[in-house]
């Protein structure tokens, strides 16, 4: 009967000798000085309180053994004190054994002797005594990430996971690698995983690896002293088709932002977009832009961005289909005469479409815009074909709306190309891109097998882990002739990284384009 009042939610005064602070001092310090503090009662909960054993062999000092299941913050010393006061005899805590804490049980623990013995053997023996880092966290839902997604969250980026969890927005989650190991913690918000605490390191930066490659140039540059590359299967095609150039005389002008536009650029016909990939849909739009510009006696011009808007809006830029420098080369080849590379920041994000257009028209003569039906720009995508057409009728510029380009009844989108690449469907990606998929990076120092790491400045779209036939050539840059890739190689994709197995004499190429070839008929890339 005496135990009943102590079950459930109760108010409990902490013991004098506790670590609580009073006016900046520990309560136990004050108690030791003979001036114990008056501690206020605290709300605690005792879920279960049972008498396990009663020993009154010593009638002057009987002993009770109690089993207590309680919430955090409960003082068992105070429980013994208060129980003695209620019985009118006084009591104190003689011994305390914690038998469980959450999911952790005393039988699964290790004694000090076991730990000392393991320490004498070494770190590996000690590690075997440890539970996984997320042991006891089963109540927090786990979300499995791909290797590329692990790299993204390790960089602090938000992720739209390949496997979408069925959770309510705002739920705290564990990030798990493909092998089930804990990557970190975050939350599920508006269809994205938002990292909060990450327990793995991000991969080495491109700059650091590039510096290492530069330091090794003296060795790599000497083909006679470089290790021979392991033989790799030759691709079915040894040379990339030459870039189709609409007008070899065109020398495209690159303008660093709308603020740098000058009237001397002439009358412009514009298209606005990221143009990542310069896929068949983009090239179709650019052809229509060039035609509209010719009809209006204007120059075809593009406004693109130095970063993908999703990087600012959603915290994670989608992996690239085309290197930024290569994008400029392909825009020039498509006949674009002026490209504005606009910095995308928060100020631009909240700029209304009409203010965006006004900022352009303040600096140059705008003949019009070319758009597809689903295109939009400006704050909250307010610049749709309908609103821009109405503005053009008022301000005196034209808006040409062309149908979206389709392949086999499906609109060609960069997101679909990325999906096909990540699924390993390189042939399907090629049908939408209009070319074999490739990426640009810096070749590092080859290892003993002849595999050189390829380091990217920005995340790129990669197929699943495996070995892919490839061809390699110099990176493309505006102002230099785009040399087709032609050096046979094998690209080894593993956990979001790429190594290139290539002949030793070609390993010193430095900044390169790697073009993945579809496996020969009837074969597949080895996984």
Residue 185 bridge partners (DSSP):
174, 197
- Domain chopping of the chain, boundaries: 4-97, 142-198, 206-240+436-516, 253-407
Residue in this structure with the two tokens 């150039």, named with its chain if needed: 245
Largest CA distance in the chain: 111
Using the predicted structure, report yes or no on whether residue 405 has a pLDDT greater than 60. yes
Phi/psi-derived region of residue 19, left when phi > 0, alpha when psi is between -120 and 50, beta in every other case = alpha
Q: Which of 65-69, 486-490, 502-506 has the lowest mean pLDDT?
A: 502-506
Per-residue model confidence as pLDDT tens digits over 203-238: 544 334 433 334 333 333 333 333 333 334 444 446
Tokens of 503: 């002949």
* Confidence class for position 514, pLDDT limits 50, 70, 90: very high
- Domain over 4-97 is classified CATH 3.30.2350.10: yes
Q: How many CB atoms lie within 10 A of CB 5?
A: 12
DSSP state of 71: -
Nearest to 325 by CA among 157, 520, 476: 476
When computed from its CA atoms, the radius of gyration of the chain, rounded to whole angstroms, is 34
Tokens of 174: 């564990």
The CA distance from 19 to 5, in Å, is 26
Q: Which of 127-131, 288-292, 362-366, 487-491 has the lowest mean pLDDT?
A: 127-131
Tokens of 154: 């390790």
- Tell me which fold the domain 253-407 belongs to: Rossmann fold (3.40.50)
What is the predicted pLDDT for the residue at 314?
Answer: 56
The dihedral sign for the CA sequence 76, 80, 81, 83? positive
What is the predicted pLDDT for the residue at 313?
Answer: 57
Per-residue model confidence as pLDDT tens digits over 242-261: 999 999 999 999 999 999 99
What is the predicted pLDDT for the residue at 349?
Answer: 85
Phi/psi-derived region of residue 479, left when phi > 0, alpha when psi is between -120 and 50, beta in every other case = left
Phi/psi-derived region of residue 279, left when phi > 0, alpha when psi is between -120 and 50, beta in every other case = beta
Q: Is there a common fold for 142-198 and 253-407?
A: no
DSSP state of 170: T
More confident: 370 or 201: 370
pTM of the predicted structure, to 2 decimals:
0.57
- Tell me which fold the domain 142-198 belongs to: 2.30.130
Using the predicted structure, report yes or no on whether residue 523 has a pLDDT greater than 50. no
Residue in this structure with the two tokens 């009118």, named with its chain if needed: 88
Tokens of 251: 């020398």
């Amino acid at each position: 009967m005496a135990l009943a009042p102590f079950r459930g939610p109760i108010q409990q005064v902490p013991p004098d000798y506790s670590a609580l602070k009073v006016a900046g001092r520990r309560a136990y310090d004050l108690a030791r000085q003979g001036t114990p503090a008056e501690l206020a009662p605290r709300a605690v909960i005792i879920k279960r309180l049972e008498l396990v054993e009663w020993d009154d062999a010593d009638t002057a000092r009987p002993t009770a053994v109690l089993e207590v299941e309680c919430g955090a913050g409960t003082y068992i010393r105070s429980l013994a004190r208060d129980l003695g006061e209620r019985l009118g005899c006084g009591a104190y805590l003689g011994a305390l054994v914690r038998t469980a804490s959450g999911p952790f049980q005393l039988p699964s623990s290790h004694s000090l002797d076991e730990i000392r013995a393991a320490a004498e053997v070494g770190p590996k023996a000690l590690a075997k005594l440890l539970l996984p880092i997320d042991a006891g966290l089963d109540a927090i839902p786990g979300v499995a990430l791909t290797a590329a997604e692990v790299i993204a969250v390790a960089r602090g980026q938000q992720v739209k996971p390949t496997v979408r969890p069925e959770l309510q927005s705002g739920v705290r989650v564990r990030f798990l690698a493909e092998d089930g190991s804990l990557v970190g913690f975050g939350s599920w918000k508006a269809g994205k995983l938002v990292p909060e605490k990450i327990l793995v390191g991000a991969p080495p930066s491109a700059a650091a690896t590039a510096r290492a490659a530069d330091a090794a140039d003296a060795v790599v540059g000497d083909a006679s002293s470089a290790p021979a590359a392991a033989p790799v299967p030759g691709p079915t095609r040894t040379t990339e088709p030459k870039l189709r150039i609409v007008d070899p005389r065109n020398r495209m002008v690159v303008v660093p932002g709308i603020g740098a536009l000058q009237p001397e650029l002439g009358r412009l016909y514009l298209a606005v977009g990221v143009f990542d990939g310069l896929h068949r849909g983009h090239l179709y739009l650019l052809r229509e832009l060039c035609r509209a510009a010719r009809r209006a006696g204007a120059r075809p011009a593009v406004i693109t961005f130095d970063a993908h808007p999703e990087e600012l809006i959603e915290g994670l830029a989608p992996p690239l289909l085309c290197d930024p420098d290569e994008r400029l080369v392909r825009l020039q080849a498509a006949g674009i005469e002026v490209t504005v590379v606009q910095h995308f920041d928060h100020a631009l994000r909240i700029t209304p479409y009409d203010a965006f257009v006004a900022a352009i028209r303040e600096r140059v003569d705008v003949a019009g815009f070319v758009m597809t039906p689903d295109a939009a720009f400006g704050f909250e995508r307010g610049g749709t074909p309908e609103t821009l057409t109405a503005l053009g009728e008022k301000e005196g510029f034209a808006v040409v709306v062309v149908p979206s380009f389709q392949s086999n009844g499906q609109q060609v989108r960069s997101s679909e190309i990325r999906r096909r690449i990540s699924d390993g469907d390189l042939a399907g990606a090629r049908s939408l891109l209009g070319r074999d998929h490739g990426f640009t990076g810096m070749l590092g120092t080859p290892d003993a097998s002849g595999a050189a790491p390829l380091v990217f400045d920005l995340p790129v779209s990669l197929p699943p882990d495996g070995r892919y036939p490839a061809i390699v050539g110099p990176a493309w840059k505006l102002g230099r002739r785009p040399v087709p890739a032609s050096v046979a190689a094998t690209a080894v994709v593993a956990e979001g990284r790429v190594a290139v197995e290539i002949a030793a004499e070609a390993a010193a190429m430095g900044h390169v384009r790697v073009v993945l070839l579809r496996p020969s008929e009837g074969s597949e890339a080895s996984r």
